[in-house]
A and B are shown apart, each in its own frame.
Chain A
Amino acid sequence: MLSRNLRFLSRRYSQGVTFRTTETSPSQQNENQIGLFYTVNNDVCKQLFGHGGLPKSYMKQTKTFTETSLMVRLPALDIINCIKATDFDKPVIRYMLYGEIGAGKSLTLAHLLHYAYEDGYLIVHVPWVSEWLRRVPRHKEMSNSPTHEGLVDLPLDGAAWLLHFKMQNQVLLKKGNLKISKEYVWSKREQTPEGAPLAELIEHGITRVKYACDVIDALISEIKILSNSKQCKTFVAIDGFNTFFYPLTRLSTPTKKKVTPEEVTLTKSFMELTKNDWVNGVIILTADQLGVSQDHQESHLPKYLLYKKGFEHIDPFVPVEVGRYSEREFMSCASYYRDRLWLRGPRETEGELKLASACNPYKFMELCAPL
């Protein structure tokens, strides 16, 4: 009798905690959906994050869960709310996402990217800056820049990024109403004429890998001009932005000289982009402890991670903290995991896991993994 009652109660309880929302459009989401999961359409997901953008562990989860679900959380809603209220004639506003390791900065960014995609922005998304500056695989292509004296090009990374850009903006690019404002001469034979569609420029960068970084430079200035002339709205999202300001990169020139971030052409281009001297756009950046080396990970707060230089570069910005799960978010997440078979066992253990994970989303996922 008792056990049946218990089962009944627990079933009611499990039904009581709703963890899904059918509202799949981020622009329509409101506070009532905080802590609930919504599923991103697979095609959209492929288009947006086909070349990176979601953390690796999360990608694994999507495969196991057979769907891509994002939790609607306050920081994302907050920023969407701000973007909606923005006057687009004024200089771009920069938002800085910060928070502990595993708090969900990248997923918040992904959520916002989904919003931007739905709203028809031109998306300039850098999935992970450290990928360029701090990750050194065995064959990292590096070359001295032909156009900028004393700077270093990362042609392969540049080309990969161009591909990512093309993929994310294929709808806008196909329309072909984004034109280049001036002629670019790459070499004696190769040039991109004025008035050519943007896609041509990108295509050139992808096919002629040597010029990828220069193409990015050009592309960014073109985007700025296009946005200023109101031909498109631009949404800039850079994950791990603080890596640009860490004094050293892991790269070194063939002469074993350590490369500083400023000596990389990509840095220069994206620095240009994150200045607030253009209009009709949104810039969202994240500061991540994992983007810098271990000796500079004592705090997750933006000023510490960006150094004074970085702070002054993006000043004034709106700091948005991505925190740990609240009670409601945690319970909803636990129910979601239960639904996806990721978490099993008696109910009372959620309290235990909550304590042990200290409500950190990533830690919670990790703790659930072997259970």
Chain B
Amino acid sequence: MSNFRYKVGPIAKCVFQTQSPRSNLWCTLMQYRFYPRPTSFPDYFQNPIFRKEDQAKLIESNELTKLAALPVKPPAAYETSSVYHDPLVSKLINHVMKMGNKKLARNLVEKAFENIKRIQIERYHLATTPEEKAKVVLNPKDILHKAVENSKPLLQLLPIKRGGITYQVPGPITEKRSLFLAIKWLLEATNDKERTIHFPEQFAWELLDAANNTGKVVKRKQDIHRQCEANRAYAHYRWQ
């Protein structure tokens, strides 16, 4: 019997240890869909690799033949191999979407991009020297990426109850959650607007601000960081 107990231990260990290490590239993270519950596709179905660049990468690393044997999930209705397809943008659209009205959500986000583009092109024309012109980022998607990158928090505050008192304890944040918070804050900042201003305009301004490392969202992020810094003393509650 004791022998048995000795042997069961490692099982439990391997049960709880085999979590695949998450990649830090959140961009690739978003292309893969993780489902908490079993979906209608069995779990041996792989996520599709539908972008040409990704496939080229696989061919280079000789993993293509290995993957080709396994069945693959079909790409979702919003995924294409188009050059302009961007997982972050589709994620953003999903965040903007209300009541499943994706058409409207996509429209709004694209309008916002259009506004950014118009503003940036105007700046480009206003710039006098070629160096200044080169500095102006014209691609709205680049601005979105920059904005999200700038507004992603590195730390978060967790309420932990110790001795009847809830402490705000600073702790590290997962990649996924920090991305979620960044997009959420951007949208919250946008929705906090006058009634007469439309969403795309306000959102364009917010994105430009955040990409410039200024604005409400970046300030909010810095606030959180500052608070974490202030509550540094409670950090030990995380494991005590």
Contacts and interface: CB of A to CB of B under 8 A. Distances in A.
The answer to whether A binds B is yes
Contacts of B124: 341
Contact of B139 (A66, A340, A344, A349): A344
A341 B121 contact: yes
A352 B81 CA distance: 10
A370 B113 contact: yes
Contacts of B122: 64
A341 B123 CA distance: 12
A343 to B, nearest CB: 10
Nearest to B138: A341
A1 interface: no
Nearest to A65: B121
B138 A60 contact: no
A349 B109 contact: no
Contacts, number: 38
A259 to B, nearest CB: 31
B118 A64 contact: yes
Contacts of A349: 82-84
A348 B84 CA distance: 11
Given A344-B138, A352-B83, A370 B109 contact: yes
Given A66-B125, A341-B124, A345-B84, A369 B138 contact: no
B113 A369 contact: yes
A10 to B, nearest CB: 15
A369 B110 contact: yes
Contacts of A66: 125
Which interface residue of A344, A346, A349, A369 has the most chain B CB atoms within 10 A? A369
A369 B117 contact: yes
A307 B54 CA distance: 55
A371 B141 CA distance: 8
Contacts of B109: 370
Which interface residue of A63, A66, A371 has the most chain B CB atoms within 10 A? A371
Nearest to B120: A341
Nearest to B119: A64
Interface string A243-261: 0000000000000000000
Contacts of B121: 64, 340-342
B140 interface: yes
A150 to B, nearest CB: 40
A60 B122 CA distance: 12
A58 to B, nearest CB: 14
B114 interface: yes
Contact of A345 (B83, B110, B114, B125): B83
Contacts of A60: 118
A60 B201 CA distance: 14
B93 to A, nearest CB: 11
Interface string B91-118: 0000000000000000001110110011
Interface in A324-365: 340-342, 344-346, 348-349, 352
B114 A352 contact: no
Contacts of B83: 345-346, 348-349, 352
B120 to A, nearest CB: 9
Nearest to B109: A370
A340 B118 CA distance: 11
Nearest to B81: A352
A242 B124 CA distance: 42
13 contacts: A64-B118, A64-B121, A64-B122, A342-B117, A344-B138, A345-B83, A348-B83, A349-B82, A369-B111, A369-B114, A369-B117, A370-B111, A371-B84
Interface of A: 60, 63-64, 66, 340-342, 344-346, 348-349, 352, 369-371
The 6 closest A-B pairs by CB, nearest first: A370-B113, A370-B110, A369-B114, A349-B83, A64-B118, A341-B121
Interface of B: 82-84, 109-111, 113-114, 117-118, 121-122, 124-125, 138-140
Given A352-B82, A369-B113, A370-B117, 8 more contacts: A60-B118, A340-B121, A345-B83, A346-B83, A349-B84, A369-B114, A370-B113, A370-B114
